Amino acid sequence: MSSALPRILLIDDDRLQQRMAEEHFKRFKAAKYALDWAPTYEDGLERLLTGSYAACLLDYQLGGRDGLELIREAAAKGCQTPIVFLTAEQSEHIDIQAMNAGALDYLVKGEITPRVLERSLRYALKLGETLGELRRLATRDQLTGLLNRREFDRILTEECDRAVRFSRPVSLLVVDLDHFKRVNDVHGHQAGDAVLREAARRLAGQVRSVDRPTRFGGEEFAIVLMEMDRAQAMEVARRMCTSMSATPIEAAPGVFLNITMSVGVAVSPSEAKDTRSFVAAADRALYAAKAGGRNQAVAFGDLKD
């Protein structure tokens, strides 16, 4: 099959089941998929966690290990791949257990036909898309597409705890657009929204994929920079200020506004060991940047008591 086809992972320790699945796939009517096979719990989990599969077919028994355990372990590690649970037993008890663990469908092996399997995969993929969109809406700011405040709070708690536990730096930037109220007062809220969207795009373009830019609220943004010390974080913050001020933002057709921003920088665990003090430190640095004339970044560690 072509590598361009959606890939389905079969985790099953029975070679015969793998061959039967291949035959079923060949007889699908509406869609075509590429099938990969993992014969062990460990191999299956490793492949599943790559996130490269459209869906997974998972056997209940895997050489003495439990497929339900695999679902739970994968989910705990962030796996969001739709899973169809396979078992030789016809039991409502197993059905409920599978669904509670996170499987999206349940098939009895002796009842599987090409039509039944194709329908189940189609259902799992569609439901997986719907759940993915719901997760996105729950964690994203509607206007800018950045992570929202609730997700920021969750991420910052995790990263601050990790920084303290392993003595590895994590930096926080708190960003405020300068004189943003004037944009809304003079040009209207639609223009303000346009400025916020473009500002968010520019901020996100200045960070790595592992970093976490969020909309903190109003015209404020916050960015969690993984494994960055103060010097590195200040370099990013200054680059963001330059990017924001370098090119006017089109707030409305033919209306171009010069937008600048101020940034406060703090680092954990050296400057804060919990989320409240972490945000407070970055906020204090932000206030200093504002008081110092705006359009600049200030680090909490450089402030004089």
The pLDDT tens digits along the chain (305 residues) read 445 789 999 999 989 999 999 999 999 988 889 999 999 999 999 999 998 899 999 998 887 788 889 988 988 888 889 999 998 776 667 778 877 878 888 888 888 999 999 999 998 888 888 877 777 778 899 999 999 999 999 999 999 999 999 999 999 999 999 999 999 999 999 999 999 999 999 999 999 999 999 999 999 999 999 999 999 999 999 999 999 999 999 999 999 999 999 999 999 999 999 999 999 999 999 999 999 999 999 999 999 76
Global model pTM greater than 0.75: no
DSSP string covering 173-190, please? EEEEETTHHHHHHHH-HH
Whole-angstrom distance, CA of residue 140 vs CA of residue 214 = 8
Helix 180-187 / helix 189-205 crossing angle, nearest 10 deg: 140
- Domains of the chain from N-terminus onward: 7-138 (3.40.50.2300), 149-302 (3.30.70.270)
The CA distance from 292 to 119, in Å, is 63
